[in-house]
Amino acid sequence: MQDNQRPSKILALIALLVAVVLPFLLVNTFHHKNRTTSTDKPLLLPKPTLIKAHPTNEPRHNEWQIIHTKEGDSLATIFKKNGLSAENLIQIIEKNPHASLLSKLRPGQTLQLLIKDSHLEKLIVPLTATQSLEIYHDKDGYKSTIHSRKMSSHNHYLTATVKGSLYATAKRSNIPYKLIREMTSLFSWDIDFSKDVREGDQFTIIYKAFYIEDKLVGTGDIVAVSYTNRSKKYQAIRHTSANGESNYYTADGKSLKKAFARYPINFSHISSTFSLTRYHPILKKKRPHKGVDLAAPLGTPIKATGSGRIVVIERHSGYGNVIKIKHNRSYITVYAHMLRFQKGLSKGSYVKKGQVIGYVGQTGLATGPHCHYEFHINRQPKNPTLVALPRTAPVPSKELASFQAKSSTLLAQLNLYEDANIIDKHSNKTLFG
């Protein structure tokens, strides 16, 4: 009886060994083959997702590593986590013309590292949507190069009818806020978007969309746009002049860009208004106040409200440190009570709109820190808070014919999409092209 049981026990033992040992041998063999294959065929951009996650947190070698940077990450911390030495890092940075790019890692970047025998073989760092930095090792040490991927642009079209608020319509239709901000800025002279937007308003936008291969990577500027508010249509077309400057114009070539900003500083309140019969708080008598006093903390930057040439920059008994800018034959602006002038400026200096020219102070006859700002038209002071600000120059006469030809084509396309949207209005859809 015992002799008959012995073969059964032997067979059971063999089956147990096969069940336990064979899987281990198969897994070990498969893992070894994978490691060899990974080393022979390194991963190249832009397909990092092909690398599978490793089951442990220990550094791996002879294969590509995919690192997603987090806040506070640096190349030094990444090297340490992946078993690379400080000496190896020094070798990479030393004499590297792109070393500064390696010190500016941002959260959310995807780095690729190829490590062989605890030594970095290759590093790929994305810089922009179109560029990446590659550092690689050869017989002469580490070298680096920047790879660029070609980006193309295409005109995209969208049209929508306002339902609720303008921004709610944009959100519901997945329209980039960048385009809405740009559109509202263009028509801000004609439409108060905080008050005048109505249910049923319609807008149509042609804009640049940027692609790498077939992937959308960015939203560019508006090419042409129309907005219909209370049955009145406003239109704008982008035009780049012969000197390379881009601006937006009406269909007949008039500029939509303001030649002046309304105010020269970010201020808390107007401490003294424009008045030709104002009672002076220091002199204790009536004296014309030819501008407005914009209260702001000491040292607040003061910017030129328009481009022009400095005709006065001096210390004045009443105005204190004052700058006067002549913009053309008609327009002059004045900035007074400055703490100090911006370095490098002098009489005759040309300044651009938005350029810092000085800093808020309380020099001269001033009771507190503020910028006294005046706006003169044909040598007559005007209330800066109410004056109608001029626009920049129209399309140059030499370019007007080509501009009108281009604008007529773009406006025809806008009208086509608007008409299609009206037809499809009952289905409450937004059309994209």
User: How does DSSP assign 216-247, residue by residue?
Assistant: EEEEEEEEEEEEEETTEEEEEEEEE-TTS-EE
Average of per-residue pLDDT across 291-309:
96
Q: Output the pLDDT for position 284.
A: 60
Given a cut of 70, is residue 81 above it in pLDDT?
Answer: yes
Contact 366, 318 (CB under 8 A): no
Dump pLDDT digits (tens) for 274-299: 987 666 565 566 678 899 999 999 99
Dump pLDDT digits (tens) for 328-375: 999 999 999 999 999 999 999 999 999 999 999 999 989 899 999 999
Average of per-residue pLDDT across 200-216:
89
CATH topology of domain 48-148: Nuclear Transport Factor 2; Chain: A, (3.10.450)
Higher pLDDT pick, 35 / 136 = 136
Q: Flag the least confident range among 4-8, 92-96, 272-276.
A: 4-8
Given a cut of 70, is residue 238 above it in pLDDT?
Answer: yes
Q: Output the pLDDT for position 30.
A: 40
- The domain segmentation of the chain, as residue ranges, is 48-148, 152-257+406-432, 269-382
Q: Output the pLDDT for position 8.
A: 56
Fold match, 48-148 / 152-257+406-432:
yes
Q: Output the pLDDT for position 364.
A: 93
HEC readout, 296-327? CCCCCEEECCCCEEEEEEEEECCCEEEEEEEC
Q: Give the span between the Cα atoms of 369 and 386, in whole angstroms.
A: 23
Q: Output the pLDDT for position 27.
A: 38
CATH topology of domain 152-257+406-432: Nuclear Transport Factor 2; Chain: A, (3.10.450)
Structure confidence at residue 427 as a pLDDT band (50, 70, 90): low
Nearest one of 132, 152, 154, 134 to 144, comparing CA atoms? 134
CATH topology of domain 269-382: Glucose Permease (Domain IIA) (2.70.70)
Instruction: Indicate the helix (H) or strand (E) that contains 249.
Output: strand 246-249
Q: Output the pLDDT for position 103.
A: 79
Given a cut of 70, is residue 300 above it in pLDDT?
Answer: yes
Percent of residues, the chain, with pLDDT higher than 90? 46
